Amino acid sequence: MRRPKFSPGTADDTEAAFYDALQHGDLDRLMECWADEEDIVCVHPGGARLVGHTAIRAAFEGLFAHGSVKVHPERVRRIDAGSCSVHSVVERVDVMGDDGPANAWIMATNVYAKTVHGWRMVTHHASSGSGTEPVDTAVTPSLLH
Q: Residue range 83-93: average pLDDT?
A: 94
Domain at 27, CATH number: 3.10.450.50
Q: What is the pLDDT of residue 2?
A: 43
pTM, 2 dp: 0.85
Q: Residue range 102-113: average pLDDT?
A: 92
Q: What is the pLDDT of residue 3?
A: 44
Residue 60's nearest CA partner among 35, 88, 93, 24 is 24
Total number of domains in the chain: 1
Range of the domain at 63: 11-126
Residues 59, 47 contacting (CB under 8 angstroms): yes
Q: What is the pLDDT of residues 35-76, one digit of tens each?
A: 999 999 999 999 999 999 999 999 999 999 988 889 999 999
Residues 14, 29 contacting (CB under 8 angstroms): no
Asked if the structure places residue 1 within a domain, the reply is no
Asked if the structure places residue 32 within a domain, the reply is yes
Q: What is the pLDDT of residue 128?
A: 82
